[in-house]
Structures are given as C-alpha cells and as structure tokens.
Structure 1
C-alpha cells in the first residue's frame, strides 16, 4: 500500500508569501509583537500595528522598513484599556476585510497597588482580556469579509499553573500582581477556545487559534534600534539561558505560524517545541484546564456584561449559483506536520 505523502515541516525562515493580505497585530510596536509584525511584513502583507503610542509605533515602522525592503506597515492608534478607543480604531481600518488579527498586546505589573482603567476595571484584566474581547466584537464584520480569516490569541506559559476565580475576576479582594497577570492571560486563552467552539457552531470560516511564546528574554533578543538595544555584555551573560529559553524573535514564531500556515485549524494550541519553552513552533495538546467548557462559558458571559460587547460570527452567505465558501476545514486533521 503506497504511503500517504506528508506536507513539509513548517520552516520559520521560509514563510509563504501573503501579498494582498491584511494583518493587525496589537502591541506590534515592541517585544514579541514587534517581531510578529516584522516577520509578517516579510511576506509582502500589509501589517497594521495597533498601538497607543504613536512615537513608538513610528519607531517600529522605521525599524521594520530598514530590515524589510518595501515593507507595508501602518500604525493604528489603539488603547485596549479604553472602550471608545477600540471602536474608533476599528472604524479607522475602513471597509476592507481583515485576514488575521494577532491579539498580542499586554500589560504586566510587578508591584502593588492595584490599578484601574477609566472604566473601573483592573488594568491587566482589562487590557489583556477585556480589551481583546471587545476588539474581536468590533472586528467581526472585517474578519467575516475575508474567508478563512484568523483570530490568533497570545497566551502565556504563566497561565499553565493558574486557575480563574470567577467570583473575583478582577482581583478586587486579593490582589497579587503576578497572579493577576497570569489569570488575565488564562482568561485570554479560555476566550480563544470558547471562541473556536462558537465559530464552529455558527459555521463560520473564521478560525480561532491559540498560541503561547514559551520563555523569552530581552537579553537573548537581537537588537532592533531604537525599538530594542541589546549590549554584547547582556548577550554573553545570558547565553547559558539560551539552552532553556529564547529571544523574542523566536518567541514570535508560534503566532506567525498560526497566521500563515494553511494546515493550522481552529481550536489548536501552538507553542515552542522544546518543553514548551524554546524552539520552533509545534501544535501541542490543549492544557487540561483549557478544556473546561463551564468555566469558559461563564467567563464569556462575564466578559460580555463587563464590556457590553458580544463577538458573534455567522456562517458565510450563499454565493450566486447556490455555492458557498469552504468552512476552512474546522475540526479536520492538520495537513502539515508539527
């Protein structure tokens, strides 16, 4: 019996062309988000940087342009902690469809006191989760206009050992910054999995894909002045850690693959190959607590009530002649190898 040929391994250094596509990366002006934007720009796509800081966004655009000749990168003013800013940002995108959004931006606080947004929400939960929940709602028409579009949610390895307190989602009663951050990322990840269930139930062609970057250090990240500058001393001092973790350029690989790989399906989790901390991206099993449908549904209801938004996708309309666009293979086996 002849063997079935396998698709080639995903090559992080040879990305497929994506000219004509439009990708939005929140927090694309710095950190992992910057390298997601830089790598996507290298495919010929138009990359939109969602950032509240115009000067930092312009610096990132200049850095990408210096490394990617002919790069198409634009700034979209966006403050995920401000509901009015989110809606205005989406309005500014215009009517053209959006092929993917990478929900990457995040706030991490290390010390008390607890901080709130103007809407009265705890800052990390509001920015990392609620802002992206509301953004997805407002992006629904643009994503629905691009068959097979993708919503890529960036989680965190820090969320692997956490559990949500549904009675204290915003850490109003017991605020510990590192735990509050990890729980905000867990909320993002549960949102991504619940979103996949809702997309499949609706028959939508949009995919919800979940990624985590593993362990990433600035000292292992190549310089991109003025966005990021690494000294030789910093690089040499952290070289041994390179056996365990990686730079933010490599930490961007799971999100980039989730956007571009035609073999990736909705509801999948991508992370670094070596112990989930470093290496090329692979498809891995969902963490056990991410499959808790009851918690995910309750979180969705709470997020809807807190934001006044509800991301709802529908099946594609029937085209003239009675045909309908493909459902992008929801639930099918991955065509590419991990």
Structure 2
C-alpha cells in the first residue's frame, strides 16, 4: 500500500483523495500509519522469533489390554523405563489355564493329523484287491471259463471301492491337518491374551502418573499409567503468515527460555508448518522438535523459538 501527501489531499495506491478539512486529513494519516505499523516487518536474513509452549513429543495413557484385577504395579511415579518394560500386571491365572488347555488340544490335533495308519491300510487293501483282480484276469486269459463274469465284476467293484476309500483317507488326513493348524492358532491367541495381562511401556520414558491401584478392577482400555518421553520435546506456537517467505520445515532452530542465571537454550529442528491459516489472526501453527537428552527442560515451559532463515 503506497500513500503520498499532496498538500491537503492524499494519494493512496493511485487513487487521489480530494481536498478535505484538517481533522479528517489527520485521521486518515493516523489510520494509514496504524495499518502500516501492524504489518509484520523483518529484516532480510534475521531469524524469525516465535513464542512457544513445550509439551512431550511422546506421551501416552498406557491402557490395560485385558479386563481383570490389577495384581501388581511394578513401577513408581518418576521411574525411568525402557521400551517393552513391564509397568503393571493383571491377575493372569485363568489366562494361564487357557494356554495349557490350548496346548493340550493342539497336541491332540497333532497326533491325529500325523497319523497315517488309515491311509496306509487303505493303500494296502487297494493293492491286495488290484493283485487279486490281475490274477483273475490272467486266469481268464488262459482258461476262458475258469472265473465267472459276475465274480470278475465283484472284484472290479472292490478295487474301485478301495480306491475311493484310499482317497477318502487322504482327504480326512488333510482335514485333520487343517484342524491342527487351527489349534495352533488358538494356542497363539491364548498366549497373546496371557501376554496382554502385562501392561508394558510402548516407548522409553518416565512414569508421570499411576492411575490405578493394586487390587482394583480394571476394564479393557482403562488407563493404568501415564508415560512421557522427555528426551525430545515439542515446541508449539503460531507464526504470522506474512513471514512465511520460504519453506521453513527442516530448518534448524534454537529454543530460549528463562532469564539471567536461569536462562536455558536448546537446539532442534522445525518439523511442521500448518497448511491452514487462522482467518482472524492470519497466523499458522508451527512446531519444532527439541533435543533434551539431559532432561533439564520441562514440558509446560514457555519460551521462544529462533528460526534460522
């Protein structure tokens, strides 16, 4: 927006506002300067400054994955845990019995699926019948009236019947093998349910809060422990859209908080710039990932981000 004074007239972006009284003229100038002052101005090359609030990059209300009585809480508030570490245990006696039962049923199904006695018997019976039919056919070829046609038909029918029985035995054995696989799947499911009676840490972090108490009944999905990771923090704030002259994602940042002896700085990387702008404030949400290996900086602190351009 360009404005130029012409005596008691004012030229604004090419439009000439004709001569006006002194009071109106002063008011127009005041409005123009106020608008100009409200537009963010940065010097080329200077870093952008954003006010931010810190929060854990990873935080979770770790839930119970099964329903039951909370038997044991392994950790205490403030404990530092690694990924996969057990935080609490539910009463798992019934789950252990279910695993034992599934193991027995699987063993029974395995014994049945690997038993080829019926198949072998059917194959042997078929071989005997075929040999008998072949001898009868040889006898007829040598002595035409030695065996009646009806007897020969019975022997052929016996061979066909035993052939079908051998195929049926193979089919039933295949079905038994499928049943064994299903029992193996049931064993895996029972073991999974047993493992789910332990509440485990989904990531490395610090126990911030214990929701449940030993002996309480815990429903499926109910939070048991709040776990936060403090080695990396999320610094979130808002930036004027007029300052987004380039893609800032991936830029190095410096976080500042505190004053004097309490001043703290940390480095990190800008991870996100929202594609949406607030139509009222003309600002976009941004957040950066800050390294905090010593845990010196706490979630909830406020400070500023210095974004290198």
| Structure label with greater radius of gyration | 2
Tell me the TM-score normalized by structure 2. Answer: 0.17
Task: With a CA cutoff of 8 Å and minimum separation of 6, indicate the structure with the bigger relative contact order.
Answer: 2
Tell me the TM-score normalized by structure 1. Answer: 0.16
